[in-house]
Amino acid sequence: MRKSWWKILCAVILLYTVSCGLLFDVPAREILHETIRNLFFHVCMWMAMMVLLSASVYYSIRYLRTQQLRDDIYAVNYAKVGLLLGILGYATGAVWAKYTWTEFADMSQIFTEPKLTGTAIALLIYFAYLVLRGSLNDIDKKARISAVYNIFAYAMLFPSIWILPRLMESLHPGRGGNPALNFNDLDSRLRIVFWPAIIGWTLLGVWITTLKIRIDLLKEKSLLNG
Protein backbone atom coordinates (compact mmCIF):
# COMPACT_ATOMS: atom_id res chain seq x y z
CA MET A 1 0.00 0.00 0.00
CA ARG A 2 2.83 2.40 0.86
CA LYS A 3 4.37 1.84 -2.58
CA SER A 4 1.08 2.38 -4.39
CA TRP A 5 0.00 5.68 -2.83
CA TRP A 6 1.00 7.67 -5.91
CA LYS A 7 -1.05 5.37 -8.17
CA ILE A 8 -4.10 5.95 -5.98
CA LEU A 9 -3.36 9.68 -6.10
CA CYS A 10 -3.12 9.47 -9.91
CA ALA A 11 -6.52 7.79 -10.19
CA VAL A 12 -8.14 10.28 -7.82
CA ILE A 13 -6.70 13.31 -9.62
CA LEU A 14 -7.68 12.07 -13.07
CA LEU A 15 -11.20 11.27 -11.88
CA TYR A 16 -11.34 14.78 -10.47
CA THR A 17 -9.94 16.23 -13.73
CA VAL A 18 -12.41 14.45 -15.99
CA SER A 19 -15.37 15.21 -13.72
CA CYS A 20 -14.48 18.89 -13.41
CA GLY A 21 -13.60 19.14 -17.09
CA LEU A 22 -17.05 17.95 -18.07
CA LEU A 23 -19.27 19.29 -15.30
CA PHE A 24 -17.73 22.34 -13.58
CA ASP A 25 -18.67 25.87 -14.55
CA VAL A 26 -15.96 27.51 -16.68
CA PRO A 27 -15.41 31.18 -17.56
CA ALA A 28 -16.71 32.42 -20.88
CA ARG A 29 -13.76 33.38 -23.07
CA GLU A 30 -13.97 34.97 -26.48
CA ILE A 31 -13.79 32.37 -29.26
CA LEU A 32 -13.05 29.52 -26.81
CA HIS A 33 -16.36 29.48 -24.93
CA GLU A 34 -17.08 25.98 -23.56
CA THR A 35 -14.16 24.46 -25.47
CA ILE A 36 -11.85 25.91 -22.82
CA ARG A 37 -12.54 22.68 -20.93
CA ASN A 38 -10.06 21.05 -23.29
CA LEU A 39 -7.37 22.99 -21.43
CA PHE A 40 -7.36 20.23 -18.79
CA PHE A 41 -6.59 17.61 -21.44
CA HIS A 42 -4.73 19.14 -24.40
CA VAL A 43 -2.35 21.46 -22.53
CA CYS A 44 -1.88 19.22 -19.49
CA MET A 45 -1.04 16.19 -21.63
CA TRP A 46 1.66 18.19 -23.36
CA MET A 47 3.04 19.34 -20.02
CA ALA A 48 3.17 15.69 -18.93
CA MET A 49 4.88 14.83 -22.22
CA MET A 50 7.61 17.36 -21.48
CA VAL A 51 8.23 15.80 -18.06
CA LEU A 52 8.48 12.27 -19.48
CA LEU A 53 10.76 13.27 -22.35
CA SER A 54 12.95 15.11 -19.83
CA ALA A 55 13.18 11.90 -17.83
CA SER A 56 14.02 10.02 -21.03
CA VAL A 57 16.96 12.26 -21.92
CA TYR A 58 18.17 12.10 -18.32
CA TYR A 59 18.43 8.30 -18.54
CA SER A 60 20.09 8.55 -21.97
CA ILE A 61 22.79 10.79 -20.50
CA ARG A 62 23.06 8.44 -17.56
CA TYR A 63 23.49 5.47 -19.90
CA LEU A 64 26.38 7.19 -21.68
CA ARG A 65 28.06 7.57 -18.28
CA THR A 66 27.29 4.16 -16.77
CA GLN A 67 26.83 1.89 -19.83
CA GLN A 68 24.11 0.11 -17.87
CA LEU A 69 21.43 -1.39 -20.14
CA ARG A 70 18.81 -0.68 -17.48
CA ASP A 71 19.24 3.07 -18.10
CA ASP A 72 18.66 2.55 -21.84
CA ILE A 73 15.45 0.64 -21.08
CA TYR A 74 14.27 3.48 -18.85
CA ALA A 75 15.13 6.05 -21.54
CA VAL A 76 13.30 4.38 -24.41
CA ASN A 77 10.16 3.65 -22.40
CA TYR A 78 9.90 7.19 -21.06
CA ALA A 79 10.28 8.38 -24.66
CA LYS A 80 7.59 6.01 -25.93
CA VAL A 81 5.02 7.05 -23.34
CA GLY A 82 5.99 10.70 -23.73
CA LEU A 83 5.42 10.36 -27.46
CA LEU A 84 2.02 8.77 -26.79
CA LEU A 85 1.01 11.74 -24.65
CA GLY A 86 2.30 14.04 -27.36
CA ILE A 87 0.10 12.35 -29.95
CA LEU A 88 -2.92 12.58 -27.65
CA GLY A 89 -2.13 16.24 -27.01
CA TYR A 90 -1.86 16.88 -30.75
CA ALA A 91 -5.15 15.07 -31.41
CA THR A 92 -7.05 16.97 -28.71
CA GLY A 93 -5.52 20.18 -30.05
CA ALA A 94 -6.75 19.38 -33.55
CA VAL A 95 -10.27 18.82 -32.21
CA TRP A 96 -10.03 22.10 -30.30
CA ALA A 97 -8.93 23.94 -33.46
CA LYS A 98 -11.87 22.53 -35.38
CA TYR A 99 -14.36 24.17 -33.01
CA THR A 100 -12.51 27.49 -32.55
CA TRP A 101 -10.08 28.52 -35.27
CA THR A 102 -12.38 27.65 -38.19
CA GLU A 103 -14.51 30.63 -37.15
CA PHE A 104 -11.85 33.10 -38.33
CA ALA A 105 -9.18 31.09 -40.23
CA ASP A 106 -9.22 28.86 -43.27
CA MET A 107 -7.74 25.36 -43.35
CA SER A 108 -4.49 26.46 -45.02
CA GLN A 109 -3.81 28.85 -42.12
CA ILE A 110 -4.58 26.13 -39.59
CA PHE A 111 -2.36 23.52 -41.25
CA THR A 112 0.55 25.98 -41.38
CA GLU A 113 0.05 27.28 -37.83
CA PRO A 114 3.54 27.56 -36.23
CA LYS A 115 2.76 25.66 -33.02
CA LEU A 116 1.13 22.73 -34.84
CA THR A 117 3.92 22.61 -37.41
CA GLY A 118 6.61 22.73 -34.74
CA THR A 119 4.89 20.03 -32.71
CA ALA A 120 4.53 17.79 -35.76
CA ILE A 121 8.26 18.17 -36.44
CA ALA A 122 9.12 17.33 -32.83
CA LEU A 123 6.92 14.23 -32.85
CA LEU A 124 8.42 13.06 -36.15
CA ILE A 125 11.91 13.44 -34.69
CA TYR A 126 10.93 11.14 -31.83
CA PHE A 127 9.29 8.70 -34.24
CA ALA A 128 12.64 8.59 -36.06
CA TYR A 129 14.25 7.77 -32.70
CA LEU A 130 12.09 4.66 -32.43
CA VAL A 131 12.71 3.73 -36.07
CA LEU A 132 16.46 4.09 -35.49
CA ARG A 133 16.31 1.73 -32.53
CA GLY A 134 14.36 -0.80 -34.55
CA SER A 135 16.95 -0.75 -37.34
CA LEU A 136 19.84 -1.77 -35.06
CA ASN A 137 20.35 -5.32 -33.85
CA ASP A 138 23.43 -5.03 -31.66
CA ILE A 139 22.17 -4.20 -28.15
CA ASP A 140 25.13 -2.07 -27.04
CA LYS A 141 25.38 -0.22 -30.33
CA LYS A 142 21.64 0.39 -30.30
CA ALA A 143 21.78 1.81 -26.79
CA ARG A 144 24.75 4.12 -27.52
CA ILE A 145 23.44 5.53 -30.78
CA SER A 146 19.93 5.88 -29.38
CA ALA A 147 21.22 7.76 -26.34
CA VAL A 148 23.06 10.27 -28.51
CA TYR A 149 20.08 10.69 -30.82
CA ASN A 150 17.74 11.13 -27.86
CA ILE A 151 19.83 14.05 -26.63
CA PHE A 152 19.61 15.58 -30.11
CA ALA A 153 15.84 15.03 -30.24
CA TYR A 154 15.38 16.67 -26.85
CA ALA A 155 17.52 19.63 -27.93
CA MET A 156 15.15 20.11 -30.88
CA LEU A 157 12.02 19.73 -28.76
CA PHE A 158 12.05 23.09 -26.98
CA PRO A 159 12.89 25.25 -30.04
CA SER A 160 10.25 23.56 -32.21
CA ILE A 161 7.44 23.69 -29.63
CA TRP A 162 8.16 26.68 -27.38
CA ILE A 163 10.71 29.05 -28.95
CA LEU A 164 10.20 29.25 -32.73
CA PRO A 165 6.38 29.56 -32.56
CA ARG A 166 6.80 32.53 -30.21
CA LEU A 167 8.77 34.36 -32.89
CA MET A 168 5.89 34.16 -35.37
CA GLU A 169 2.24 35.11 -35.43
CA SER A 170 0.11 32.29 -34.07
CA LEU A 171 -3.53 31.30 -33.93
CA HIS A 172 -3.07 30.10 -30.37
CA PRO A 173 -4.63 32.32 -27.68
CA GLY A 174 -2.40 35.08 -26.41
CA ARG A 175 -0.92 38.32 -27.64
CA GLY A 176 1.99 39.16 -29.87
CA GLY A 177 2.48 35.72 -31.34
CA ASN A 178 2.38 33.94 -27.98
CA PRO A 179 1.58 30.35 -29.03
CA ALA A 180 0.16 29.25 -25.69
CA LEU A 181 -2.78 30.07 -23.52
CA ASN A 182 -2.22 33.30 -21.62
CA PHE A 183 -1.96 32.13 -18.02
CA ASN A 184 -3.33 35.48 -16.88
CA ASP A 185 -6.63 34.19 -18.29
CA LEU A 186 -6.68 31.35 -15.77
CA ASP A 187 -9.10 32.31 -13.04
CA SER A 188 -9.59 30.33 -9.84
CA ARG A 189 -12.09 27.98 -11.47
CA LEU A 190 -9.50 26.91 -14.02
CA ARG A 191 -6.45 26.86 -11.76
CA ILE A 192 -7.94 24.44 -9.24
CA VAL A 193 -8.27 21.89 -12.04
CA PHE A 194 -5.41 22.84 -14.36
CA TRP A 195 -2.48 22.31 -11.99
CA PRO A 196 -3.75 19.03 -10.50
CA ALA A 197 -4.47 17.82 -14.06
CA ILE A 198 -0.80 18.25 -15.01
CA ILE A 199 0.18 16.14 -12.00
CA GLY A 200 -2.46 13.54 -12.80
CA TRP A 201 -1.47 13.07 -16.46
CA THR A 202 2.20 13.01 -15.50
CA LEU A 203 1.63 10.33 -12.88
CA LEU A 204 -0.38 8.29 -15.39
CA GLY A 205 2.51 8.52 -17.86
CA VAL A 206 4.97 7.41 -15.18
CA TRP A 207 2.64 4.57 -14.18
CA ILE A 208 2.42 3.25 -17.74
CA THR A 209 6.18 3.66 -18.16
CA THR A 210 6.98 1.67 -15.03
CA LEU A 211 4.81 -1.19 -16.30
CA LYS A 212 6.61 -1.19 -19.66
CA ILE A 213 9.99 -1.04 -17.92
CA ARG A 214 9.15 -4.04 -15.76
CA ILE A 215 8.14 -6.02 -18.84
CA ASP A 216 11.37 -5.11 -20.67
CA LEU A 217 13.52 -5.94 -17.65
CA LEU A 218 11.85 -9.34 -17.41
CA LYS A 219 12.55 -9.91 -21.11
CA GLU A 220 16.19 -8.92 -20.62
CA LYS A 221 16.50 -11.27 -17.64
CA SER A 222 15.01 -14.16 -19.61
CA LEU A 223 17.41 -13.51 -22.51
CA LEU A 224 20.42 -13.50 -20.19
CA ASN A 225 19.26 -16.66 -18.47
CA GLY A 226 18.44 -18.30 -21.79
pLDDT exceeds cutoff 80 at 182:
no
Q: How far is CA 199 from CA 7, 85, 87, 156, 203, in A?
A: 12, 13, 18, 24, 6
pLDDT tens by residue, 91-121? 988 888 877 777 666 767 777 777 888 888 9
pLDDT surpassing 50 at residue 36: yes
pLDDT of residue 176: 47
What does the pLDDT read at residue 26?
A: 79
* Mean pLDDT, the chain, whole residue set: 86
- Identify which of 181, 80, 160 has the alpha carbon closest to the alpha carbon of residue 115: 160
pLDDT tens track for 42-92? 989 999 999 999 999 999 999 999 999 999 999 999 999 999 999 999 998
- pTM, 2 dp: 0.90
